[in-house]
Amino acid sequence: MSNNKTLAQMNTDIEEARQKANFSINSMLNMLRGGEEAVKKLNDLRQLAENEPIFSKAETPFQSRQEQLYHSLLISKRMIELIEEKNMDDEQFANLFRHIELLTPAQGTTEQSDKWYTAAKRHAIIGCYAQTELGHGSNVLGLNTVAVYDQKSDEFVVHSPDITAAKWWIGGLGVACTHAVVQAQLIINDKSHGPHLFIVPVRSPFDLKPCRGITVGDIGPKAYGGFATTDNGFALFDHVRIPRDNMLMKFAHLSKEGKYTPPIHMKLSYGSMVKLRVDIVTDAAWKLGKAVTIATRYCTVRRQFHNPPSFKFDNNRPEAQVISYSSVQHRLMPLLSTAYALIISGEAMYTKFNTLMEQLEVNNATMLPEVHATSCALKSWSTRRSTDGMEECRKAMGGHGYSIFSGVSELFATFVPSNTYEGDNFVLAQQVARFLLKQLQNVVQGKEVTSTTAEYLNTLAEGTTNPYEFQNPNEEILDPNVQLKIFSMRSARLVADLGQQLQSGREWSDLNMECWSVNLAHAEYLILKDMICKVDTMRATPEQAELADTMKTISDLFCLSTLGYSSLATFLSTSTIHPSDLSRLNEQYRATIAKVADNAVALTDSFGFTDHELNTALGKKDGRAYEHLWDAVQKNPINHGEENEKLTKLVLNILHSGNNLEYVKASKL
């Protein structure tokens, strides 16, 4: 097979695409990954992991869920051994276990953190975060699990009144966890003080049997076969007693005498969810980046038909690369720009979150509402766009994209539930809308909007409802100031319209889709603003200045694809742009698509994914998709051994039933 010219051409195609890059791939990689030193540390960890045979995913597609779960525990065991063997520090520990959702920010006092974190780090206990219930997910205030304070015994009684209060979907709880950080309603003297966090032992670390009063187990397989290696579980509490000190008391406090001191902000106990949403934005970026990398590489080496079409077969003329078709470029290139945009926006979100954490340490919660709203908007937008984008990548790859060996289906299956966990996206959209409506009141009262993320509402003071007036749409749309102005106008008008509809008497429950539109527009404004700021920063940074033009093109494509395609409806419905300008804007969009497409392979290489990370046969770096797909299929146990014999016997039983053999002989089939 290695002498086949089609197979040899695939490697040539991918290498030629790399050589077309007009920027340094290595420099872009360093910028995206946090610098040269960060890349080195990442590569060291990768090398460590990829040298371990047990981390191979080659057999995973052929394993049952039970086998995958068992194998994942073996991997966890080996990771723990590596931490001890290599004497890893906390940063290396976190990177190696990045797929585990750690409880940050810590809700415990220093003494509590020392006690529980040290035990968890030693793996003397295994923890999980138990918030979602069978009957409640996004509505945290409606959780039914209670923790009733018994002053006589200085204990809490944790109880599930019925099965609707059973903790559900809790990662790690199904098989492995010994302790859970449980969100429960704090009850003192028959009065509820809302959800608080409590550490509850669920299994004995000695024999892993359930603790008294606790029913615990695994909830079963998930949609699309996703999260097969995660033991999402349930737990039901029957008057389980825990010490008062098991309530995490960094922000709220309860004395032995029953005196309750509330936090400075009632939503501080949601801090871990805010952190998880920040993590999800970055995760969405890199997972979409993986899907786009696979699809771009495969579409670069896959050749089908002639372009332009020809009904005459010419064996001497190579068929066209799939990536050369405009339909493929228009589907993949905006997704490439979206992955870059989310990496940049996720980075900016981390900066805001870290500043918030510093302020909370000195009891300053000023930033909390804004960071909460921003994390809600970006989480809901990034998960929706990322998972939709993964599926689009799969479809762009044609028939082979449906094979599990493409690597894209696994990405989709494991990330698509992010649309509902850590807050259902449509519920989060309502929280974003409420935040913006509060900011809108400043405009109504003739005041300046103080929120930096909602400052665009100040444009409403201009009092105009006319479309943006372009002198030359084709050129002006590349001006960052014009881009932000247009996105500002659209977002502000959607918020104003929502406010007017509420004022006219429409019920909030009847405005969910309007909230969704506001949420998407707000997120897109924030992401574009982050991209523009990043380009400016890069121009002013000597080691990144050479990349600024490339990043500007990516930013332009994000703007143009959002404006002209994915969110066109709201730009038109708010009269932000005039329909007559669309054709000129589309000209620039097509020109920008072409620029990004020329650099597509190099831009995906800049993500820095290894073949091991991508776990794909079709999108490996060398471009030899057909050969790798062939090799992957040969590992299928159905094709040999006991599994083959078992199936063969059953098929022969069907073939040889009745007088079928005589019929075959007589018919000379």
Residue ranges for the known binding site for FAD are: 132, 171
- The rounded Cα 633 to chain-centroid distance in angstroms is 29
CB 168 within 8 A of CB 209: no
Rounded alpha-carbon distances, angstroms, from residue 239 to 68, 178, 212, 245, 422: 35, 18, 9, 17, 27
Whether cis (ω within 30° of 0) applies to the bond prior to 308 is yes
Query: Which residues make up each annotated binding site?
Result: 132, 171
Q: In 3D, which of 200, 229, 198 has the Cα closest to residue 212?
A: 200
Q: What are phi and psi of 321, to 5 degrees?
A: -65, 135
Phi and psi dihedrals of 258, rounded to 5? Answer: 90, 15
Q: At 326, phi and psi to the nearest 5? A: -60, -35
Contact (Cβ atoms closer than 8 angstroms) between residue 231 and residue 175: yes
Q: Are strands 155-159 and 167-170 parallel, antiparallel or unpaired?
A: unpaired
* Biggest distance spanned by C-alpha atoms of the chain: 95
DSSP state of 209: P
Closest CA to 302 of 318, 278, 280, 326: 318
Give CA–CA dist 308/305, Å, rounded: 9
Give the C-alpha separation, 367 to 431, whole Å: 16
Three-class DSSP category at 235: strand
Tell me the C-alpha distance between 459 and 490, whole Å.
10
Q: At a CB cut-off of 8 Å and minimum separation 6, what does 372 contact? A: 267, 270, 274, 431, 435
H-state helical runs in 615-656: 625-633, 641-655
SS3 category, 254: strand
> DSSP label at 193?
E
Place of tokens 């409880």: 103
Catalytic residue numbers read 422
Distance of alpha carbon 548 from alpha carbon 554, whole angstroms: 10
Alpha carbons 226 and 415: distance in angstroms, whole number: 8
Angle 160-163-166 from CA coordinates, rounded to 5°: 60
Distances (CA, A) of 77 to 11, 82, 176, 177: 38, 9, 12, 14
Reduce the secondary structure of 421-468 to three states and give it as a string. CCCCHHHHHHHHHHHHHHHHHHHHCCCCCCCHHHHHHHHHHHCCCCCC
State the DSSP H helix or E strand holding residue 111, giving kind and residue range, or none if neither. Answer: helix 110-121
Phi and psi of 193, rounded to 5°? -110, 20
Alpha carbon separation from 68 to 75, 222, 287, 617, 632 (Å, rounded): 10, 13, 21, 20, 18
